[in-house]
Amino acid sequence: MKSILFLALIAMSWSVSAQELFKMHKKKIEVRGTAEKEVVPDEIYLRITLKEYKSGGKKVEMNQLEAGLLRAVRQLKIDEKDLTVDNIFGYNWNWRKKRSDEFLASKSFRLKVNDLKFVNDLVDKMDSEGVNQINIAETTHSKIDEYKMELKAVALKAAKEKAGYLLGSIDEKLGGALEIQEIEYGYQPQPMYRNVAFDAVSAESKVGYQSELEFKSITIRAEFRVVFEID
């Protein structure tokens, strides 16, 4: 009985080794397929930082500034759900006087908009003295996941077409896929400015001014390494 079991184990081991050896000597071709798509972002996240300040010896508090921001958002008919708190911080050191002064709080918010024209309209409706900074925190597209899936399919088809074309030039036939490996790519959308700064107290934030911002498109990329069998 032990001899039969031993022989069976040897047979299985030989069978596995033979399969691995067959795979190693199987004719194959390795190619890469890629696909790209550029889209203009339709979801822009602004980071708006408010700061308390003193006016006529009286401190303008954060509650008042935040209420002004919320009122401006409503007037522009932006969904209040698109406004969230990003960070809270504060200071009490006066660099000019080089001594501690009354504590002044700062608070940053994230606001999602689909058009940068809202920026100047927003600033016009707020207390500009209480706005410390407005900058672009993130840009993306509402259909980014859908586009990624579409590009993956295109990239795989491109790999197959490339392999078939190469093999056809040497009178070989394309077989099935043996290995498929996705090469991960992110995207780094960056805004491009032209003589524009989001400074709430600058002369460019006057009523009626609309900035001419140019955005670099989001480049979405899909790539696969695919190994095909050669029939």
CATH fold of the domain at 23-41+142-231 = Translation Initiation Factor IF3 (3.30.110)
Please list the pLDDT of the chain residue by residue as tens digits (231 residues). 555 555 555 555 555 454 555 555 689 999 999 999 999 888 989 999 999 888 887 888 899 999 999 999 999 999 999 999 998 887 665 555 555 567 788 999 999 998 877 777 888 888 888 988 888 888 899 999 999 999 999 999 999 999 999 999 999 999 999 999 999 865 544 444 333 344 444 444 444 555 555 567 888 999 999 999 998
E strand or H helix at 73: helix 62-75
Tokens of residue 116, six digits: 């940068």
The pLDDT, as a whole number, for residue 201 is 43
Tokens of residue 180, six digits: 């498929």
CATH of the domain spanning 43-140, picked from 3.40.50.720, 3.40.640.10, 3.50.50.60, 3.30.70.120: 3.30.70.120
The pLDDT, as a whole number, for residue 98 is 52
Domain boundaries, the chain: 23-41+142-231, 43-140
Query: Looking at the whole model, is its pTM more than 0.75?
Result: no
Contact at 8 Å (CB) between 188 and 138? no
Tokens 């006087």 found at? 97
Residues 6+ apart with CB under 8 A from 34: 155, 158, 221, 222, 223, 224
Tokens of residue 72, six digits: 């401006």
Phi, psi angles (nearest 5°) of residue 146: -65, -45
Tokens of residue 2, six digits: 């032990």
The pLDDT, as a whole number, for residue 207 is 47
